[in-house]
């Protein structure tokens, strides 16, 4: 198409002329008018003002009430025209009655239609409109057509009608007004919008109506004013050629549908993953042993890493999977090979903070594969593919397809596009890993810095109420959930993804006791979420109003009044503790959603937090831990203690090799001079 031949229309100027012209034309209305089969009069005017317009006087009234709105003028003028000249013949539908709108609205609520599109104007070539409409059909959009685009489609053999989700409204673009009167009625029928409540209508149209407008060339000034007026309803206006200026979004035919849908946040759901192996959480627990393995990656045997990063929307092609380097067929059976998994995501609501949380999902998703296995994270990953899967045709590429699909399926609100790059070339893996390591460090710095005092909102977790009915976890940046599985960021993201789910925001409110970490807002939340059972909750104390325990805690912290200290025992420890009880006896005593002063369920990482035992005077209270837990935390704990000037405390904390009874513990603590002995009495 030769662009130079086409007159460019300045949208801004044309719109002004159009609005002026509509204003001049409106008083020319002579006849009274009314549409059939509707309880909503002229639906747009009725929804905006509550006035039923049937003649010039009421039309003028509503027009001025709405600030000379070009949509209102267009609605009145077309209604009079229809009354004067009668409805257009088939295939044109003209005004569509309430009965059909009810059905259309049903499909929208029901989800069998994803959104609505108006395609309007005169296509430059007959094929252009057909391709766009086919794409709209494929993406479950219900498309309304107005103007010469209709004859262009039917000349091109495209079938029109409700059953094809292509609805020809009328022969000129002015009939596009019916698109708006349909949305106004859906808002009143389904959205609880009362006639006359213009702000509710606009809010509904903007937030709920998933509508886009695609404009071909050839609109008159009046029609440009009409289409531009729809922006107020939050519909993106996408134009093909001919138009410049204004707030319309120019696009080309190949990408216009995708761009419009992205702009309005309309997403196509993925339901099946095109790979030659099963994919379900049912396979998650299954490991692949050495003898079942075809190839492996990482695990100390080769270079491997994974990285998920956010990119601007334009830079991620949804569903794209690229393998850089050799595929599975050129890898030797039983060998260890380099692998870099790089996932690029884009999404309107995606945030950089979410990257690490989403990245952790790679672990679950790869394990969902019937013949794929994954452990650890970042540059420590270890991935295997089974012989069975490879024999069925699974290739490296399919890992990418699995990941791309699962991320889109599980985070539809968050992600608009996901692409996966799998690097198997040894040189390129090393290069990419260096870059990934830089990003890991940046992230660590960001999260490490996060303190409870930096945020006003904590998150709750009530997942465990299924079996511990009154249990409420409060998750803060410095205190992960007691199961160790959910951090503050996880809680935040879970809430954003599923606003009515088990993780809810908790405004911490006024500080009641800074030492124990008791907050007015937290108390209020806990009281409600525990169904009135728990009135107070201190986040940093074991002794006074500790958090309730479900049963999932990684470890238990409990007081030992005889030695004026606190001990911690983790789930893996099978023996008796100096308290005289084993982990399982203790767990049975404190679980089930009860608040038990002197006992608290905690995650292992919480021991490393500055908030740990704050209410009791700090980590100096810690007198005993199983040796296994001590070893697990050693590097980080020693560092932490050194930072706090408690360099020698680590060795003063007893374990089962030093003491198994309270008497032995007392002897040991006195021998090493443990600071807890001289602290303020616990009870």
Partner 1 sequence: MTADAQFGWSGTIGEVTLGATKAEGGTRRISYRIGGGTTLPFMEKENSSLTPLIAFEVCDYPKTWSPIVRNYCGDLVNDLCAWTKTADTTYRADLIRLHLNSTRQRDFSDIPAVGKTVEGVLSASSLPLIIEGSNEPKIDSEVFQRCGESGQGERLLLGTAEASHYRSIAAAALAYNHSLIAQSPIDVNLAKQLNILLKEIGVTRDHIIIDPYTGALGYGFEYSYSAMERIRFAALKGDSDLAMPIICSAADSLNIKEVREADPAMQDAVAVSWEFYTGIAAAAAGAEIICVRHPKTIGMLRQAFASMKARPGPAGVE
Residues at the site binding partner 1, with contacts judged by CB under 8 A:
102-103, 105-112, 189-192, 462, 465-466, 469, 500-502, 528, 531-532
Cis peptide leading into 483, omega within 30 of 0? no
Q: Between residues 109 and 380, which has the closer beta carbon with respect to partner 1?
A: 109
Rounded to whole angstroms, the Cα distance separating 113 from 38 reads 23
Give buried/exposed letters for 222-233 (b at 16+ CB in 10 A, else e).
Answer: bbbbbbbbbeeb
Helix, strand, or coil (residue 178): helix
Rounded to whole angstroms, the Cα distance separating 386 from 384 reads 7
Q: Between residues 189 and 212, which has the closer beta carbon with respect to partner 1?
A: 189
Q: Between residues 91 and 469, which has the closer beta carbon with respect to partner 1?
A: 469
Q: Between residues 531 and 644, which has the closer beta carbon with respect to partner 1?
A: 531
| Shortest Å, Cβ 173 to partner 1 | 30
And the tokens for 501? 């789910």
Selection from 121, 117, 134, 249 nearest residue 173 by Cα? 121
Q: Between residues 462 and 577, which has the closer beta carbon with respect to partner 1?
A: 462
| Shortest Å, Cβ 107 to partner 1 | 7
| Backbone φ, ψ for residue 548 (5° rounding) | -70, 165
| Shortest Å, Cβ 178 to partner 1 | 19
And the tokens for 601? 């369920």
Q: Between residues 413 and 660, which has the closer beta carbon with respect to partner 1?
A: 413
| Shortest Å, Cβ 176 to partner 1 | 25
Rounded to whole angstroms, the Cα distance separating 402 from 272 reads 10
Q: Between residues 102 and 634, which has the closer beta carbon with respect to partner 1?
A: 102
Rounded to whole angstroms, the Cα distance separating 212 from 136 reads 11
Q: Which residues contact 211 (CB under 8 A, 6 or more apart)?
A: 115, 116, 117, 118, 179, 183, 205, 233, 234, 235, 264
| Shortest Å, Cβ 190 to partner 1 | 5
| Shortest Å, Cβ 645 to partner 1 | 45
Q: Between residues 110 and 329, which has the closer beta carbon with respect to partner 1?
A: 110
Rounded to whole angstroms, the Cα distance separating 129 from 149 reads 7
| Shortest Å, Cβ 528 to partner 1 | 8
In the beta sheet, which residues pair with residue 476? 479
The 10 Å Cβ neighbour count of residue 557 is 24
In the beta sheet, which residues pair with residue 117? 143, 212
Q: What number of CA atoms fall less than 13 Å from residue 14's CA on the CB side?
A: 25
Q: Between residues 165 and 621, which has the closer beta carbon with respect to partner 1?
A: 165
And the tokens for 618? 């700090």
| Shortest Å, Cβ 370 to partner 1 | 23
| Shortest Å, Cβ 197 to partner 1 | 15
């Amino acid at each position: 198409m030769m662009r130079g031949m086409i007159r460019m229309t300045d949208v801004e100027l044309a719109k002004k002329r159009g609005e002026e012209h509509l204003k001049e034309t409106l008083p020319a209305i002579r006849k009274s008018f009314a549409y059939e089969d509707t309880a909503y009069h002229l639906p747009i005017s009725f929804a905006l003002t509550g006035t039923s317009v049937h003649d010039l006087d009421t039309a003028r009234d509503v027009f001025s009430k709405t600030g000379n709105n070009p949509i209102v003028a267009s609605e009145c003028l077309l209604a009079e025209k229809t009354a004067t000249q009668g409805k257009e013949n088939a295939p044109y539908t003209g005004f569509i009655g309430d009965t059909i709108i009810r059905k259309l609205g049903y499909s929208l609520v029901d989800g069998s239609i994803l959104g609505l599109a108006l395609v309007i104007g005169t296509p430059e070539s007959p094929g252009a409109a057909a391709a766009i409409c086919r794409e709209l059909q494929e993406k479950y959009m219900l498309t309304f057509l107005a103007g010469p685009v209709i004859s262009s489609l039917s000349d091109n053999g495209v079938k029109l009608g409700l059953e094809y989700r292509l609805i020809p409204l009328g022969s000129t673009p002015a009939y596009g007004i019916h698109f708006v009167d349909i949305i106004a009625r859906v808002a009143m029928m389904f959205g609880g919008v009362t006639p006359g409540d213009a702000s509710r209508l606009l809010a509904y149209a903007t937030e709920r109506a998933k509508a886009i407008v695609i404009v071909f060339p050839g609109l008159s000034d009046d029609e440009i004013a009409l289409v531009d007026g729809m922006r107020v309803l939050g519909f993106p206006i996408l134009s093909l050629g001919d138009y410049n200026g204004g707030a319309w979004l120019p696009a080309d035919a190949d990408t216009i549908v995708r761009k419009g849908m992205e702009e309005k946040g309309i997403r196509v759901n993925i339901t099946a993953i095109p790979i030659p192996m099963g994919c379900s959480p049912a396979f998650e627990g299954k490991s692949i042993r050495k003898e079942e393995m075809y190839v492996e990656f990482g695990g100390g045997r080769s270079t491997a890493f994974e990285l998920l990063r956010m990119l601007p929307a334009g830079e991620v092609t949804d569903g794209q999977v690229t393998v850089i380097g050799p595929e599975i067929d050129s890898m030797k059976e039983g060998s260890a090979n380099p692998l870099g998994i790089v996932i690029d995501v884009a999404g309107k609501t995606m945030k950089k903070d979410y990257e690490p949380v989403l990245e952790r999902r790679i672990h679950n998703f790869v394990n969902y594969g019937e013949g794929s296995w994954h452990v650890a994270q970042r540059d420590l990953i270890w991935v295997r593919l089974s012989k069975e899967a490879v024999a069925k045709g699974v290739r490296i590429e399919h890992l990418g397809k699995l990941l791309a699909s699962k991320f889109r399926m599980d985070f539809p609100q968050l992600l608009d596009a996901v692409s996966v790059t799998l690097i198997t070339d040894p040189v390129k893996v090393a290069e990419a890993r260096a870059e990934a390591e830089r990003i890991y460090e940046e992230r660590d710095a960001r999260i490490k810095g996060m303190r409870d005092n930096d945020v006003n909102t904590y998150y709750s977790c009530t997942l465990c109420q299924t079996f511990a009915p009154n249990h409420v976890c409060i998750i803060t940046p410095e205190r992960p959930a007691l199961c160790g599985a959910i951090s503050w960021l996880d809680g935040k993201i879970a809430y954003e993804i599923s606003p009515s789910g088990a993780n809810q925001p908790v405004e911490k409110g006024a500080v009641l006791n800074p030492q124990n970490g008791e907050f007015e807002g937290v108390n209020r939340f806990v009281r409600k979420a525990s169904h009135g059972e728990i009135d107070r909750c201190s986040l940093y104390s074991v002794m006074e109003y500790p958090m309730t325990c479900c049963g999932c805690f990684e470890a238990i912290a409990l007081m030992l009044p005889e030695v004026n200290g606190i001990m911690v025992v983790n789930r893996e420890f099978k023996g008796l503790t100096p308290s005289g009880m084993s982990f399982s006896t203790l767990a049975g005593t404190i679980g089930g959603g009860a608040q038990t002063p002197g006992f608290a369920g905690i995650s292992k990482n919480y021991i490393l937090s500055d908030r740990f035992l704050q209410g009791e005077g700090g980590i100096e209270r810690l007198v005993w831990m199983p040796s296994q837990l001590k070893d697990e935390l050693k590097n980080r704990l020693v560092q932490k203690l050194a930072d706090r000037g408690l360099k020698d405390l680590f060795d003063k904390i007893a374990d089962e090799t030093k003491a198994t009874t309270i008497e032995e513990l007392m002897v040991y603590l006195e021998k090493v001079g443990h600071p807890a002995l001289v602290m303020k009495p616990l009870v």
